[in-house]
Amino acid sequence: MRHAIDAHDPDTNEALSDFQEYAHRVRESLRTRGIEFHEVYGNRFGITHGKTVVIFAPDKVQVGYYLIAPNKKPRIEYGVNTDDGLLQMADEYFGPSKTGSPR
């Protein structure tokens, strides 16, 4: 997820590029574990649970991760994480892969 990106800010654009690259690297590994990964480009997004919609709108951080699972408190991580870091985050939050984290 990200807030509005300033096309004239090279640091912000590099962070977004890194985010997209690492997301691409882990997408299949997460999918094989049954973990959905969605990229959201905007300043807020909604999570639907039954008939309830929860809106998440961070204040200042432009890139981050929002992990959610049934019967668990959401985990929010700000900034860009590497592919190894994302898989470790998934292990910590969702539990380790039964076959080990494919990398």
Per-residue pLDDT of the chain (103 residues; tens, 9 = 90+): 333 445 566 777 888 889 999 999 999 999 999 999 988 888 888 988 889 998 988 877 767 899 999 889 999 898 899 999 999 999 999 999 876 545 4
Using DSSP bridges, classify how beta strands 45-49 and 52-56 pair: parallel, antiparallel or unpaired.
Answer: antiparallel
Check residue 2 and give its pLDDT.
Answer: 35
Structure tokens at 34: 């049954």
Spatial contact of 18 and 86, defined as CB atoms under 8 Å apart: no
Instruction: Quote the pLDDT of residue 8.
Output: 61
Residue 43 tokens, joined? 């300043």
Contact yes or no for 32/102 (Cβ under 8 A): yes
Record the pTM.
0.76
pLDDT score at 57: 87
* Confidence (pLDDT) at 4: 44
C-beta of residue 37 within 8 angstroms of C-beta of residue 23: yes
DSSP 79: S
Query: Would you list the domain boundaries of the chain?
Result: 10-94
pLDDT of residue 9: 66
